[in-house]
């Protein structure tokens, strides 16, 4: 499904050089990573026996016995705010061991609500590029990516530098008109608009967060894969359909190409489905959807920003996450076999909520004296809220 780009434009207005070239299903050698960073290859937990992948339905399980549901409920109530239109955080889905063990929604929302993705879409674009790399259509060290770059130094921009937000192309990531991101949303050909930008720094030397760069990545896949419609089919057939994502709405430019840097809207349960694909090293129900080496490469810190990989944000202890404006998060924690997805409004704080939930799961303070029998809480009635100032 596609969304008229002017609607999201109005909403926004308001408010590996180190990784080598061709990737295969074999893990990357540790000597291709920066020497001051730990290797992350091979730390992906397997799907527990008897727990199906959530291709059709999400399996639902119990919270670990020593986890306090009261602590989670209190954190959610504080984050969600009052039960009126001024809601803050809107949804939370916690997946442990492949099962939803905790789920909350603001009273105005529910499991069927579709949420804007904003920059969480960038991580989906990374997966799209990973498919093209695995199929031999692109390579991380490819240069000369656009024909109009042949006569100047833009020909030296490598694919990995686009993925790591260090292309050197001129960009200003602000959201009040006039702005580069709003120009991309309104563009007839978003990739061409970004490709026309001059260099403002040497490729690979400066981190410059750019929604336009991600639109350019989609354009590169489209150029090599038969155009906009064929690329959307490729995204769905090879990625979204394969992992059971069915509620997506893609925001496109005037030519019909997905913008990539934003606009992959879906339910929180579908956002959460994206996490296990990376948590399992690209494998899904016996199929290798993405090479494990691509997941590894995604988690290598960029030379220009140790907190960023290939369109994913990198945290401590091997945790990595897709993050979006106004508070969308998909957090992947391989060491603890954990995925947390949350959606929020501009006034929300999903960071504090997700951190509180993860802290309770990793260092439990429970059990509660009388835990409820339900394994999952879907909030459809007003929450009991703490006092507000």
Locate the domains of the chain by residue range.
2-362
**What residues contact residue 290 under an 8 Å CB cut-off, 6+ apart?**
127, 130, 131, 134, 277, 278, 282
128 alpha carbon, distance to own chain's centre? 12
pLDDT at 29 over 90: no
CA distance 194 to 216: 6
pLDDT at 268 over 70: yes
3-state DSSP call for residue 48?
coil
Strand partners, 331: 321, 340
Q: Calculate what percentage of the chain has a pLDDT beyond 90.
A: 77
pLDDT at 85: 58
Measured in degrees and rounded to the nearest 5, phi and psi for residue 115 equal -115, 150
pLDDT at 19: 34
Find the range with the poorest average confidence among 56-60, 181-185, 290-294, 365-369. 365-369
pLDDT at 76: 96
276 alpha carbon, distance to own chain's centre? 12
Find the range with the poorest average confidence among 21-35, 201-215, 234-248. 21-35
CA angle, 173 then 174 then 177, to 5°: 130
pLDDT at 347: 85
Between 379 and 80, name the one with better pLDDT.
80
CATH architecture of 2-362: 3-Layer(aba) Sandwich (3.40)
């Amino acid at each position: 499904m596609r969304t008229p780009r002017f609607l999201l434009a109005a909403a926004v207005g308001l408010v590996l050089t180190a990784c080598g070239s061709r990737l295969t299903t074999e893990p990357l050698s540790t000597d291709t990573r920066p020497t001051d960073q730990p290797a992350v290859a091979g730390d992906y937990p397997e799907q527990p026996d008897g727990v199906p992948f959530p291709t059709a339905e999400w399996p639902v399980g119990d919270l670990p016995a020593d986890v306090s549901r009261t602590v989670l409920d209190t954190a959610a109530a504080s984050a969600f705010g009052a039960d009126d239109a001024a809601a803050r955080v809107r949804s939370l889905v916690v997946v442990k061991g492949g099962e939803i063990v905790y789920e909350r929604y603001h009273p105005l929302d529910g499991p069927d609500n579709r949420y804007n993705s904003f920059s969480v879409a960038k991580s989906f674009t990374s997966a799209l590029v990973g498919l093209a790399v695995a199929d031999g259509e692109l390579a991380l060290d490819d240069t000369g990516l656009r024909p109009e770059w042949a006569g100047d130094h833009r020909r030296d921009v490598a694919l990995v530098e686009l993925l790591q937000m260090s292309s050197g192309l001129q960009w200003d990531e602000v959201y009040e008109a006039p702005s580069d991101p709003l120009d991309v949303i309104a563009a007839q050909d978003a990739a061409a608009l970004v490709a026309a930008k001059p260099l403002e720094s040497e490729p690979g030397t400066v981190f410059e967060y750019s929604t336009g760069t991600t639109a350019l990545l989609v354009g590169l896949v489209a150029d090599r894969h038969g155009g906009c419609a064929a690329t959307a089919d490729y995204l769905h057939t090879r990625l979204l359909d394969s992992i059971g994502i069915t509620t997506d709405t893609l925001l496109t430019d005037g030519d019909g190409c997905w913008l990539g840097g934003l606009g992959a809207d879906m339910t929180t349960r579908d956002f959460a489905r994206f996490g296990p694909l990376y948590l399992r090293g690209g494998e899904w129900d016996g199929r290798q959807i993405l090479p494990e080496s691509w997941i590894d490469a995604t988690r290598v810190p960029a030379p220009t920003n140790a907190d960023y990989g290939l369109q994913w944000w990198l945290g401590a202890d091997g945790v990595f996450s897709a993050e979006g404006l106004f508070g969308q998060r998909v957090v992947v924690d391989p060491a603890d076999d954990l995925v947390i997805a949350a959606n929020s409004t501009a006034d929300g704080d999903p960071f504090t909520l997700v951190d509180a939930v993860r802290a309770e799961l990793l260092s439990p303070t429970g059990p509660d004296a009388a835990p409820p029998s339900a394994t999952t809480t879907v909030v459809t009635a007003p929450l009991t809220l703490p006092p507000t100032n």
